[in-house]
A = this chain, B = another copy of it.
Amino acid sequence: MAPRAYAVAVDFEFELRSHGHRVTTARRVVWDVLSATGEHLTAPAITSRVHVVDPSINGASVYRALTLFAELGLVRESRYEDASTWEPFHDDAAIHLVCSECSRVIHHDTELVPRLRRAIQVATDFAPDEIDVRVLGRCGHCPAESWT
């Protein structure tokens, strides 16, 4: 499946400037990488894609950019893999189907997530904020035969 390019409605530069941050080359390249793939990427993976565009951008700056973006709510950090993965922000009605074969992460929208939120509010004294659903399994492109 072609990586789904996110329809990025977010005005990245405006978000930065309106919070008093500068629009720099490093930040722009990191943002481009993220919004171009729309996939879950580890920080090292992002760094290497960034280096394709501009090898002079340091890995530390990639981390700093990601951290900043996360604070601004532009990206979302997950910890599905060995390292953190990052993706452009989407609301959490979209759950993650993680293929244990090819590591692809598929997004799937379901009304069960908002329902789950309500169920928690009703049944517990826990105040839910962010809901993160990960489903491990096998995607349609990885037939059972292809075991490693």
Chain A interface (Cβ within 8 Å of chain B)?
A: 79-81, 95, 97, 99-100, 106, 108, 110, 112, 115-117, 119-120, 123-140
Residue among A95, A97, A100, A137 with max Cβ neighbours from chain B (10 Å): A137
| Contacting pair A124 B100 (CB below 8 A) | no
From B80, B112, B132, B135, contact of A135 by CB (8 A): B132
Interchain CA distance A97-B115 in the complex, whole Å: 15
Copies of this chain per assembly: 2
Question: Known: A126-B137, A138-B127. Is A112-B110 also a contact (CB below 8 A)?
Answer: no
| Contacting pair A133 B116 (CB below 8 A) | yes
> Smallest CB-CB separation from A124: which chain B residue?
B108
| Sampled A-B contacts (30; CB under 8 Å) | A79-B80, A79-B81, A95-B116, A97-B120, A97-B124, A97-B126, A97-B128, A99-B126, A106-B124, A106-B126, A108-B120, A108-B123, A110-B116, A110-B120, A112-B116, A112-B119, A116-B133, A117-B135, A120-B135, A124-B140, A125-B139, A126-B139, A126-B140, A127-B138, A128-B135, A128-B137, A129-B137, A130-B136, A131-B133, A131-B136
| Contacting pair A135 B125 (CB below 8 A) | no
Which residues of chain B are within 8 angstroms of A112 by Cβ–Cβ distance? Answer: 112, 115-116, 119
